[in-house]
Structure 1
């Protein structure tokens, strides 16, 4: 279980600092056939893999908890609890979510330009799969304000044209999800109508 206290991003999930992730990606790209698709590249292929790896690594600065929070914001039972507690006059409501999966798919692109030729775009597939243990969530005043201890398994994969880079790890849910002052579960207009 990862017990680090820093923000868990896709880059940190790969277990490296951003620069080390780029170095590892550079080696994988150089050994794959991805760059063979770029016309007019020829022997410059090994020189291009490092900038392509750096560009990809720059896209990895996203919190792994973001897809969890987005999915919970749209969950019907949580929205119902948020509506019921919005006025803030009653007790909190508790919502139990059984073990569930959340996936997030992205398609980062890198443009490669060789000798002034038109750019060649390489599209990668980035998939984040999160498997969460059952969790008890606390909702009060229309906000998600608490969650029971739990764990989340995370698998992140990056691929394109035979290139495959993946890592799996397990985290305490509190490492990925920070609620601070509460997470709004309803549209902003619902909170604007509340008395100050």
Structure 2
């Protein structure tokens, strides 16, 4: 049986969370509805419920990012891995690369727009922070691709918030690093994405 890959949504809501219902109930207590409806002429309970449901659905979609993607984008800035990928790509051999304890972060700031009767009543920013603290482990690189990860744990922390409210939902989860990757399809190590921070050894 294949273990589901771990995403930011897994960390915050779990594997079996409903689409957005539980998240909407949680957001109600955060006060985010006051920001979302601040331009509305009148705020009724049905309107508040509908707005919270829409915001929860939007946030739920934002969390659909795999932790493997975050880690690989960070590792593509890691010089030792890139050099090993280059050597094995040219020589067809394999190398084992020790990785020290390090941290990889990913932050983005999507904006949500809220409309009531086709009129925009607010536009506000959501901040999503994903941080991975990876304990020492060994990576195997072959033919320019990551093909295996040795034993090691990783702690993922996901924070959701707004500039006005600060963090409104913070969750963390510790798991075996290799569980976040399906290395039956080896991962090509290439240039970095500008969105993701360089791994920081600890």
* TM-score class normalised by the smaller sequence: 0.7 to 0.9
Q: Does the 8 Å CA contact 2:5/2:182 hold for their aligned counterparts?
A: no
Question: Structure 2: how far apart are the matches of 1:171 and 1:149?
Answer: 11
Structure 1 residue 110: deviation in Å? 2.2
What is aligned with 2:187? 183
What is aligned with 2:96? 94
What is aligned with 1:82? 85
Stretches of structure 1 that go unaligned for 5 or more consecutive residues are 188-196
Question: Structure 2: how far apart are the matches of 1:35 and 1:122?
Answer: 11
Structure 1 residue 18: deviation in Å? 4.7
Indicate yes or no: 2:57 matched with 1:42.
no
Question: Structure 2: how far apart are the matches of 1:128 and 1:51?
Answer: 22
- 1:65 counterpart SS class: helix
Question: Structure 2: how far apart are the matches of 1:16 and 1:183?
Answer: 24
Which of 143, 146, 155 in structure 2 is aligned with 1:144?
A: 146
What is aligned with 2:18? 19
- 1:96 counterpart SS class: strand
Decide whether aligned partners of structure 1 residues 112 and 186 sit closer, same or farther in structure 2, where only a CA change above 3 A counts.
Answer: closer
Q: Does the 8 Å CA contact 1:56/1:110 hold for their aligned counterparts?
A: no
What is aligned with 2:195? none
Runs of 4 or more, structure 1, over 6 Å off, are none
What is aligned with 2:197? none
Query: Which residues of 2 match residues 54-65 of structure 1 at below 5 A?
Result: 54-65=57-68
Structure 1 residue 16: deviation in Å? 4.7
TM-score norm. by structure 2 comes to 0.81
Question: Structure 1: how far apart are the matches of 2:172 and 2:146?
Answer: 28
- 2:158 counterpart SS class: strand
Q: Rg larger in 1 or in 2?
A: 1
- 1:68 counterpart SS class: helix
